[in-house]
Amino acid sequence: MTSSDWLDVAGWSESFSNWSMDNVHDVLPSGDIDMQVTIPSTWAWPEPITMGPIFNMQSGFASIQPALESFMHATIMCTVVFGMMMTTMLAIPYIERKFIGRLMDRLGATTTLRSLWVGESGVTAGEWWNQLPFGMGAPIGWVVNALNSTWGNSHELETVARVNNRSYHGYWFLLPGFFQAFADFMKFATKEHIVPKNADKVVFEVAPVIILATTIMVFAFVPFGPHIYAANPELSLLFMMAIFGIAPLGVFFAGWASNNKYTLIGGMRSAAQLTAYEIPLLITVLGVAVLSGSFNIIEIVDFQMGQDEGNVWNIFLMPLGALLFLVTMIAEVERIPFDMPEAEAELVEGWWTEYGGIRWGLMFAAEYMRSYAACILFALFFLGGWEAPFQHTLSNLPAVGGIFSTVFSVIPGLIWVLLKAWLLFAVFVWIRASLHRVRTDQILEFGWRYLLPLSMLNLVIATILRLQFWTGGPWDLWVPAAVTLVSGGLFVILAIDEDEEALEIQRRPYSTQAVVKASPGSHRK
Amino acid sequence: MAEMWISMGPQHPMTHGLWTLKVKVDGETVVDTEPDLGYIHRGVEKICESRDFTQITTYCDRLCYASANTWSHAYIYAAEDLLEVEVPERAEYIRLVAIELQRVASHLMWLGAYGPDIGNLSVMVWCLREREMMMDLLQELGGSRMHYNFPRIGGVKRDLPYGFAQRARAKLKLFLNRIQEYEALFDESTVFLVRSQGVGYAKPEEMVNHGVTGPNLRAGGVNYDIRWAHPYSVYSELDWAPPVERSSIKGADCYDRYRVRVEEMRVSASLVLQALDKMPGGADTYHEPEDPMILAKAPSRAPEGTTGAHHFEDSRGESMFYIAGGGEGRGKQPYRVSIRSPMFITIPYAAKCMIGYKVADIPAIMGSFDPCIGETDR
């Protein structure tokens, strides 16, 4: 089943291109005109080129019309996808700012989650769901109250006070902090551009262009929906992964050209790290391709949601692959705990120490774009892309299935892609807020000695699943259920690595050494 | 790759102050180090020679910006030794409360700075949040937020304000719960353990030979705490013990130093709670300033030939003041003030500890020694 979505941007763009080019064709003069164009030989050609003498504009245009139509279609789609990428990416720094602010300012992850349903309430916004028109927020209020009575404090105000460690002044619907990204951009754009005296100036200027251009180019192959993509070649997966791997070259250029010891070390770290993580990443993605039987991203998503194909999200079939993809992608986009190339504690700012102003801002934006691309790719590869959670199950329910299918047909797939990507970015931020930075040699060791064999194992699992357990139609329900159960059980077993007895004896479970306390009062003798 | 020198500092995220660490690296490995100190030398010792004994307290506050109260008390004890003043017991208890609160605040500042050193920003914000509570309590005592100028020769400036004991107990109770959150973020994180364990070994015998003191030495298994070994003030009246890590054969690593400081925060908090309970006259009574309960009369002159000295357990180690009387104005000012700074001795040793480890370990090792440049350069 090919995915259906009323938000058919590609179709609209194509029909608009055809229609407008037909109009151009129609308004051209229909008769033959006597036109002779001669290009003199002195320019480049040995012989003078002569067109004409008789030229029919309509039939001449008709020969190039398909090329013009596809060019116009591509232009429109590139503009749409670029604009969509840039506007939706504004949510990424917003999520980072808000979520990490909560994690750091408040009382840990549990309270952070609770703060999401308590909201910025209390002295500021209060029960914000009551401000929604037509009582639309009433269900939110029920959920919030239910959650509060279950996991909140017994007293509502106490929860609010605990969560509301700080206050903000403003209206929740203005998304306080959202437009900070624009202010940041203005600041970067107005800063002076400084090139270090002894830098390799050409390479210094070229490196940000390489990084930014390849990062944006990745989005050409990332579909936001079944019909929203800039380009959709047969092997879009390979194409995109190849372009994803160009940016490290720019990083290395930047590190070398700045003529600074910090940037040099940062660039080398980046090169080593990205080499170590590119290979497990590619093998993991290969596992996805094997399982879905396609190198085309849209077909991979179709395989996950099509009722006559797989019909199960890939994360339930290869959780190991999803985990590997998450870890390697965090390393690829150089976020904590793998942000060794820009370790600000010892390398000041790593390979971009010498960049300032708009170049720094754009490279930082490229960093976020790569994170965003990683999140979207995770959503597409493992979380069913533009399929709503349990879409088919809910739509096939006996009584209320019709309502659900109507609702799902109204919501465009784009929404689900974005929601999944943003949620995943929140996980990135959560990881960043709770982990430390891993050392370079440890990062490399982890990549080569653990991730590479695991990704090979994942490939083997994907092959076995595809060849042995896939019958050509939807997956038998026991296959994803068994895989998920086994993986979850393994995860739980591996997570409990603490020695219970040691825990009881020692308050510090991981300490290798014990505190020796002198007996109190020995100094009074 | 050929070896090269990297000059980290004077303004570098690793330094925690204004100094330079020159590092010779071979690729990622540190081959040689050379600390370069003295960027913020203010000549405090010389300034003190032209100030009255009471005026010097404020200068000693400014020796260390993270642990001001302990330094002014270090001076006060030496000055009391010089001027031979008997301090009322209630004043000693109030001083103990102030010193230990300051120690908690200083260690929180250290833990908050150590998080970003190895890549975690959350713990900094958490620790500064709790430090704020300590600063609020100290502000109630001294009146200002950083440089309190709280002790006086012969006692303290002010008694505990009304309700201080209640607020201190509540805040310390909350704080003791929150230490467990830090431990959840640090000790239970494998990433932190692989970053801190087995890194930056410091041998106890070498530390003793170099004169390294304080939590850094106790991390190596040497039970030397001046509050314990040579008790001053009323430390011998309270029930406590200095936390000491059992050192491995290689010495103390970054994790040991982290553990000792976290345990020390617990011990300091319990000291404050005990002192509030045992306070002579009760923690809830209030005496006016210059009441004999909190401030003894002290002479303002020290004749020529008299000397005073005091070993003091600062947040970072053993600080010592040596004061010779008989300066200007017939002994109204000191003839000479000499300050022993624990970090001035520790920083060169810490720089030596880094040799052989990776570049990424430099902030992890340096941060674990808790450098404070204000007292180092004096």
Q: Where along chain A do its domains lie?
A: 182-495
Mean pLDDT to the nearest integer, A255-261:
87
Give yes or no for residue A403 having a pLDDT over 90. no
Mean pLDDT to the nearest integer, A184-190:
86
CA atoms of B360 and A342, how far apart (whole Å): 11
Residue A61 confidence (pLDDT): 77
Instruction: Give residue for tokens 């087995």.
Output: B198
Residue A189 confidence (pLDDT): 86
Q: Which helix (H) or strand (E) holds A263?
A: helix A261-292
- B314 interfaces chain A, CB cutoff of 8 Å: no
Mean pLDDT to the nearest integer, B177-187:
81
Report the percentage of chain A scoring pLDDT > 90. Answer: 10
Contacts of B4 in chain A (CB under 8 A): 261
Give yes or no for residue A519 having a pLDDT over 50. no
> What's the domain count of chain B?
1
- A60 interfaces chain B, CB cutoff of 8 Å: no
Confidence band (pLDDT; 50, 70, 90) for A429?
confident
Mean pLDDT to the nearest integer, B172-180:
83
**Which positions 277-296 of B are in contact with A (Cβ < 8 Å)?**
none
List the single best residue of A338, A436, A443, A496 to mutate versus B (max B Cβ within 10 A).
A436
Give yes or no for residue A108 having a pLDDT over 50. no
Mean pLDDT to the nearest integer, A417-430:
89
- A110 interfaces chain B, CB cutoff of 8 Å: no
Q: Buried b vs exposed e over B137-157: b needs ≥16 C-beta within 10 Å?
A: bbebbbeeeebbbbbbbbbbb
CATH code of B343's domain: 1.10.645.10
In this predicted structure, which of A435-449, A508-522, B180-194 has the lowest mean pLDDT? A508-522
Amino acid at B102: Q
Q: What are the tokens at A492? A: 């739980």
Residue A49 confidence (pLDDT): 62
Residue A190: φ, ψ to 5°: -95, 5
- A306 vs A297, residue with greater confidence: A297
* Alpha-carbon distances, residue A304 vs A285, A409, B298 (angstroms): 15, 18, 85
Is B245's CB within 8 Å of A515's CB?
A: yes
Mean pLDDT to the nearest integer, A394-401:
81
Which residues are bridge partners to B4 per DSSP?
Answer: B25
Residue in chain A nearest B181 by alpha carbon:
A108
Residue B356 confidence (pLDDT): 86
User: A200-255, pLDDT tens digit by residue?
Assistant: 889 998 999 999 999 998 888 888 888 888 888 888 898 888 888 888 888 888 88
Q: Is the pTM of this model over 0.90?
A: no
In this predicted structure, which of A84-93, A190-199, A300-309 has the lowest mean pLDDT? A300-309
Three-state DSSP class for residue B210: helix
- B174 interfaces chain A, CB cutoff of 8 Å: no
As for the ipTM of the complex, it is: 0.82
Distance of residue B341 Cα from the nearest chain A Cα, in angstroms: 25
Confidence band (pLDDT; 50, 70, 90) for B107?
very high
Confidence band (pLDDT; 50, 70, 90) for B196?
confident
| Nearest residue to B82 (alpha-carbon basis) of B338, B345, B347 | B338
- A426 interfaces chain B, CB cutoff of 8 Å: no
Q: Which residues contact B162 (CB under 8 A, 6 or more apart)?
A: B284, B286
Mean pLDDT to the nearest integer, A423-430:
88
Residue B96 confidence (pLDDT): 92
Q: Tally C-beta pairs within 8 A across A and B.
A: 138
Is A517's CB within 8 Å of B185's CB?
A: no
Confidence band (pLDDT; 50, 70, 90) for B322?
very high
Mean pLDDT in chain A? 78
Is B28's CB within 8 Å of A441's CB?
A: yes
Give yes or no for residue B132 having a pLDDT over 90. no
Distance of residue B260 Cα from the nearest chain A Cα, in angstroms: 8
User: A33-68, pLDDT tens digit by residue?
Assistant: 666 666 666 655 566 666 665 667 777 777 778 888
Residue in chain A nearest B26 by alpha carbon:
A265
Inter-residue contact A484 to A337 (CB < 8 Å): no
**Which positions 243-272 of B are in contact with A (Cβ < 8 Å)?**
243-248, 255-256, 259, 263
User: B199-241, pLDDT tens digit by residue?
Assistant: 888 888 888 899 899 899 888 878 888 888 888 888 888 888 8
Mean pLDDT in chain B? 87
Residue A512 confidence (pLDDT): 35
Q: How many helices (H) and strands (E) does chain A have?
A: 23, 5
Tell me whether residue A498 is exposed, middle or buried, using C-beta atoms within 10 angstroms of its C-beta: 0 to 12, 13 to 18, 19 or more: exposed
Mean pLDDT to the nearest integer, B69-77:
91
Mean pLDDT to the nearest integer, A130-143:
79
Residue A303 confidence (pLDDT): 86
Give yes or no for residue B250 having a pLDDT over 60. yes
| Domain interval for residue B88 | 4-377
**Which positions 70-109 of A are in contact with B (Cβ < 8 Å)?**
100, 103-105, 107-108
- A337 interfaces chain B, CB cutoff of 8 Å: yes
Residue A149 confidence (pLDDT): 66
Q: Which residues contact B200 (CB under 8 A, 6 or more apart)?
A: B253, B254, B350, B353, B354, B357, B361, B364, B365, B368
Confidence band (pLDDT; 50, 70, 90) for A119?
very low
Residue A514 confidence (pLDDT): 38
| Nearest residue to B343 (alpha-carbon basis) of B300, B314, B322 | B314
Give yes or no for residue A518 having a pLDDT over 80. no
Residue A505 confidence (pLDDT): 46
Give yes or no for residue A127 having a pLDDT over 60. yes
User: B344-361, pLDDT tens digit by residue?
Assistant: 999 999 988 888 888 888
Closest by Cβ to B243, choosing from A261, A339, A517: A517
Closest by Cβ to A439, choosing from B125, B129, B358: B358
Q: What are the tokens at A72? A: 């116009």
Mean pLDDT to the nearest integer, B98-112:
92
Give the CB-side neighbour count of residue A27, counting CA atoms within 13 A. 5
List the single best residue of A162, A256, A439, A444 to mutate versus B (max B Cβ within 10 A).
A439
Is B188's CB within 8 Å of A510's CB?
A: yes
Residue in chain A nearest B248 by alpha carbon:
A513
Mean pLDDT to the nearest integer, B279-291:
85
CA atoms of A448 and A280, how far apart (whole Å): 8
Mean pLDDT to the nearest integer, A158-164:
49
Residue A284 confidence (pLDDT): 92
Residue A50 confidence (pLDDT): 64
